[in-house]
A = this chain, B = another copy of it.
Amino acid sequence: MIRWNEESPKTQQALLTRPAVMASKTIQNSVQQIIEEVTCEGDAALLKYAELYDKRSNPRLVVPQEEIDNSAQQLSLELKEAIEQAYANVKTFHQAQQPKDIKLTTSPGVECELKYQAIDAIGLYIPGGSAPLPSSVLMQGVCAQLSGAKTVVLCTPVNGDNCIAPAILYAAKLCGISKVVESGGAGAIAAMAIGTQSVPKVNKVFGPGNSYVTMAKQLLSQSQTGFAIDMPAGPSEVLIIADERANPEFIAADLLSQAEHGCDSQVILLCNSESVIEQTQRALDAQLQVLPRRDIAQAAMANSALILVDSIELAFEISAQYGPEHLILQLAEAAPYLPQVKNAGSVFVGDYTPESAGDYASGTNHVLPTYGYSKVYSSLNLLDFYRTYTVQSITPQGLKNLSRAILPLADAEGLDAHANAVKIRLEAMKND
């Protein structure tokens, strides 16, 4: 247990410092080579990586529509309904985020609009690994579907059975994804950014991944014109603020549900009760024993801290300084503190709101800024699949009025042709 107020400012800062994530030069060079190969060889490069990295003897790229359509038949009824329930809630929450165009007259004869346009072509990346991640498909796929993007392509590597898990395909089917490609890693990201024979070139790629995927997203978003990515990536993290009447078993369960994500996950508890912290420590030890991913969770707990604070107000200040991806509030009365929430990705209020509810099914998006980026980046939302542009339409009299602003400003900025474009029109009006 750490007592916040007994630590030096330096130690306090160190407690809130995340482990450095170094992008190695080796990874950068490998990814750069992959990007060049995909640019030159297209599909052939992707097929080569599938043989090389996924050990596939007869790799294919595009999943036939029939397999997507029939995916539900391979799911238990329980899992099928779980995917449908999660899909429905996520859709309800994101549907409410549909943007509305704005149109107004800023001054007489000057009409201005702010309009939303769905980004044309969207790429979704779903990492492979030990288990499929249908929830990641839903979180990104629902947004792409609601935006009405013309092209939505999903890339993911096959699993140990040499196929894409039916849970992934069924989630993709619900989201109306037009193309599923069996391709993973930096090659898949490059294919979506550049385009190959089988993979359409997209404008924006969403989704998590390992350090090669992250590097590919970063390099391609800098080098490919008109191509963007969702947000910077970092290890997952949770911060819990709890008071003296919080349930230590619940706190321990929530800390571990974050810690099991990966050895680099970070979990922090800020609590004003010594006794709750001690009980949480005991509950952690007990719950850890029976956890299948115990080794991972234990490693993550080593980057983590249970901190005693003098007041809940101070806990909110520390949280704002840290900027957690997930912020869980287990407080007798959370409502009065909600206006103090700052720099959090997603907030979980009350004893019966575990992080896993938001990870899967409450309706909020589980793609969140992490590693301190919640100070400036948004939680993934429907607007990330749109862009805005403006339209203006001015009457002759409107332009005459505006000329009193335009002409002196163009003159001050030394831009005569800017002034000319107005003067020539004022002249034409006189002659009308």
Residues of A that sit less than 8 Å from B by CB: 18, 76, 78-79, 81-83, 85-86, 88-89, 92-93, 96-97, 102, 104, 106-107, 110, 112, 114, 117, 119-120, 130-135, 165, 167, 203-204, 218, 222, 225-228, 247, 249-250, 253-254, 256-257, 259-261, 287, 291-293, 297, 323, 334, 338, 341-365, 369, 371-379, 381, 383, 386-396, 398-399, 402, 404-422, 424-425, 428
Q: Which residue of B lies closest to A109 (CB)?
A: B352
CB pair B372–A378 under 8 Å, yes or no, is: no
CB-defined contacts of A345 to chain B, threshold 8 Å? 389-390
CB-defined contacts of A373 to chain B, threshold 8 Å? 225-226, 228
Which of A110, A372, A405 has the most chain B CB within a 10 Å cutoff?
A405
Q: Which residue of B lies closest to A254 (CB)?
A: B421
Interchain CA distance A107-B363 in the complex, whole Å: 9
A59 to chain B, nearest CB (A): 25
Interchain CA distance A402-B357 in the complex, whole Å: 7
CB-defined contacts of A334 to chain B, threshold 8 Å? 393
Interchain CA distance A359-B407 in the complex, whole Å: 11
If A79-B409, A408-B82, A424-B249 touch, whether A392 touches B417 (CB-CB below 8 Å) is no
Interchain CA distance A386-B381 in the complex, whole Å: 13
CB pair A361–B418 under 8 Å, yes or no, is: no
CB-defined contacts of A376 to chain B, threshold 8 Å? 119, 203-204, 226-228, 387
CB pair B399–A131 under 8 Å, yes or no, is: no
Interchain CA distance A412-B354 in the complex, whole Å: 18
A205 to chain B, nearest CB (A): 10
Interchain CA distance A332-B104 in the complex, whole Å: 23
If A79-B408, A354-B421, A357-B422 touch, whether A347 touches B390 (CB-CB below 8 Å) is yes
Interchain CA distance A398-B350 in the complex, whole Å: 12
Interchain CA distance A333-B388 in the complex, whole Å: 24
Question: What are 7 pairs between A and B in contact, CB < 8 Å?
Answer: A93-B114, A106-B363, A227-B376, A352-B394, A353-B394, A362-B402, A376-B387
The 8 Å CB contact of A82, one of B93, B102, B348, B407, is B407
The 8 Å CB contact of A387, one of B287, B354, B377, B402, is B377
CB-defined contacts of A292 to chain B, threshold 8 Å? 414, 416
Known: A293-B414, A293-B416. 10 other contacts (CB 8 A): A82-B407, A97-B102, A226-B375, A228-B373, A249-B424, A347-B391, A356-B406, A356-B421, A356-B422, A381-B388
The 8 Å CB contact of A114, one of B97, B250, B417, is B97
If A226-B323, A424-B250 touch, whether A93 touches B104 (CB-CB below 8 Å) is yes
The 8 Å CB contact of A409, one of B222, B353, B360, B396, is B360
CB-defined contacts of A352 to chain B, threshold 8 Å? 394-396, 398-399, 425
CB pair B346–A392 under 8 Å, yes or no, is: yes
The 8 closest A-B pairs by CB, nearest first: A106-B363, A131-B414, A82-B408, A361-B405, A354-B421, A85-B405, A356-B418, A364-B390
Interchain CA distance A79-B414 in the complex, whole Å: 13
CB pair A412–B378 under 8 Å, yes or no, is: no
Interchain CA distance A156-B130 in the complex, whole Å: 52
If A89-B405, A110-B363, A291-B416 touch, whether A357 touches B259 (CB-CB below 8 Å) is no
CB pair B82–A409 under 8 Å, yes or no, is: yes
If A361-B402, A363-B112 touch, whether A390 touches B346 (CB-CB below 8 Å) is yes
Interchain CA distance A133-B410 in the complex, whole Å: 9
CB pair B412–A134 under 8 Å, yes or no, is: yes
Interchain CA distance A227-B232 in the complex, whole Å: 10
Q: Which residue of B lies closest to A423 (CB)?
A: B253
If A381-B388, A412-B132 touch, whether A405 touches B247 (CB-CB below 8 Å) is no
Interchain CA distance A356-B362 in the complex, whole Å: 48
A26 to chain B, nearest CB (A): 18
CB-defined contacts of A82 to chain B, threshold 8 Å? 404-409, 412
